């Protein structure tokens, strides 16, 4: 009996593999405790990459070894429509379920129960994504929201915008920015290294996954609304990328978009 899922790339050529595919094809070390137990509904990312048959042009370019990083994929201008693309280029993403809300509705056939789940993903080094999904089952809806959040990943601009900041790589943001969602307003203010994340727990989860470790914040509106708070914080990070900054200011504020290299 032959294997019906051939590997798209020969594992003996690791220099032409995307980081996630290289980890998926590498032999997994055995531990005394056995394999890590996954939570209910969690998908084995490496198994999905080993059996991945790309359906888009960008996916085929990755399996052919033409694209090896997320930055190169963005430069192509092609849309990212497969979750395996993110898993191959940005392996080891952490995820955090921000909110799980049960919605009940009475119909002619009885009570209808659905779930509303918001999840956030990030690598803790300049990339973060946020999404909200609805479904009938909690486990499958969580998996769906994490996958959609991966497809909505953005690059985060970091820098040392506080007058108290010292030289070196940015751990905060370069300038003050405001994000909004509904009636919620979240203003992120640069802070020096060591101050930590001075923001609510919901915003702290988003910023931690984005790789920001020091921030001041100011909020207005219905800040107890978890979904709007998270979305407003995410929109504030999006606003950073739309600002036009000169080369001199980028060097002065130690600005960097995406992961810190070197």
DSSP assignments along 160-184, one per residue: --STT--SSS-SB-SS-EEEEETTE
Q: Are 35 and 53 in contact (CB under 8 A)?
A: no
Q: What are phi and psi of 59, to 5 degrees?
A: -65, -40
What is the C-alpha separation between 138 and 100, in angstroms, rounded?
8
State yes or no: pLDDT of 7 exceeds 90.
Answer: no
State yes or no: pLDDT of 180 exceeds 60.
Answer: yes
Report helix, strand or coil for 147. helix
What is the C-alpha separation between 17 and 15, in angstroms, rounded?
6
Work out the pLDDT band at 41, boundaries 50, 70, 90.
very low
What pLDDT, on a 0 to 100 scale, did the predictor assign at position 21? 87
What is the C-alpha separation between 25 and 35, in angstroms, rounded?
16
Q: Are 217 and 198 in contact (CB under 8 A)?
A: yes
Mean pLDDT score, 27-36? 58
What pLDDT, on a 0 to 100 scale, did the predictor assign at position 252? 82
What pLDDT, on a 0 to 100 scale, did the predictor assign at position 212? 93
Q: Which of 234, 131, 217, 120 is nearest to 181 (CA)?
A: 234
Work out the pLDDT band at 111, boundaries 50, 70, 90.
confident
**Poorest-pLDDT segment among 74-88, 107-121, 163-177:** 163-177
- List the structure tokens of 219: 């909020």
State yes or no: pLDDT of 6 exceeds 90.
Answer: no
What is the C-alpha separation between 237 and 155, in angstroms, rounded?
9
DSSP string, 84-118: HHHHHHS-S-EEEEEEEEEEEEEETTEEEEEEEEE
What pLDDT, on a 0 to 100 scale, did the predictor assign at position 12? 52
User: What percent of the chain has pLDDT above 70?
Assistant: 85
Q: Are 157 and 174 in contact (CB under 8 A)?
A: yes
pTM score, whole prediction: 0.84
Helix axes 201-210, 226-241, angle to 10 degrees: 40
State yes or no: pLDDT of 4 exceeds 60.
Answer: no
Tens of pLDDT, residue by residue over 189-209, are 999 888 899 999 999 999 999
What pLDDT, on a 0 to 100 scale, did the predictor assign at position 241? 86
List all residues 6 or more positions away from 60 whose beta carbon is below 8 Å from its beta carbon.
54
User: What percent of the chain has pLDDT above 90?
Assistant: 53
Task: Delineate the domains of the chain, giving CATH numbers in brackets.
Answer: 14-89 (no CATH), 94-155 (3.30.160.20), 157-257 (3.30.230.10)
What is the C-alpha separation between 122 and 209, in angstroms, rounded?
5
Q: Are 240 and 174 in contact (CB under 8 A)?
A: yes
């Amino acid at each position: 009996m032959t294997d019906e899922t051939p590997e798209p790339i020969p594992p003996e050529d690791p220099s032409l593999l995307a980081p996630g595919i290289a980890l998926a094809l590498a032999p997994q070390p055995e531990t005394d405790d056995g394999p890590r137990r996954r939570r209910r509904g969690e998908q084995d990312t490496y198994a999905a990459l080993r059996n991945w048959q790309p359906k888009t042009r960008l996916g085929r370019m990755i399996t052919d070894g033409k694209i090896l990083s997320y930055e190169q994929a963005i430069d192509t201008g092609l849309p990212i429509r497969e979750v395996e693309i993110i898993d191959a280029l940005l392996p080891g993403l952490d995820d955090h379920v921000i909110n799980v809300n049960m919605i009940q509705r009475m119909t002619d056939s009885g009570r209808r129960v659905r779930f509303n789940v918001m999840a956030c993903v990030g690598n803790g080094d300049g990339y973060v994504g946020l999404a909200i999904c609805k479904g009938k089952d909690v486990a499958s809806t969580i998996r769906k929201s994490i996958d959609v959040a991966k497809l909505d990943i953005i690059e985060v601009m970091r820098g040392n915008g506080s007058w108290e900041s010292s030289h070196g790589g940015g751990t905060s943001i370069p300038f003050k920015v405001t994000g909004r969602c509904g009636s919620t307003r979240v203003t992120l203010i640069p802070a020096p290294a060591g101050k930590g994340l001075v923001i609510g727990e919901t915003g702290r989860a988003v910023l931690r996954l984005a790789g920001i470790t020091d921030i001041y914040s100011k909020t207005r509106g219905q800040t107890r609304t978890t979904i709007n708070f998270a979305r407003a914080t995410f929109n504030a990070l999006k606003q950073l990328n739309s600002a036009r900054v000169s080369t001199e200011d980028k060097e002065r504020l130690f600005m960097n978009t995406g992961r810190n290299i070197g």
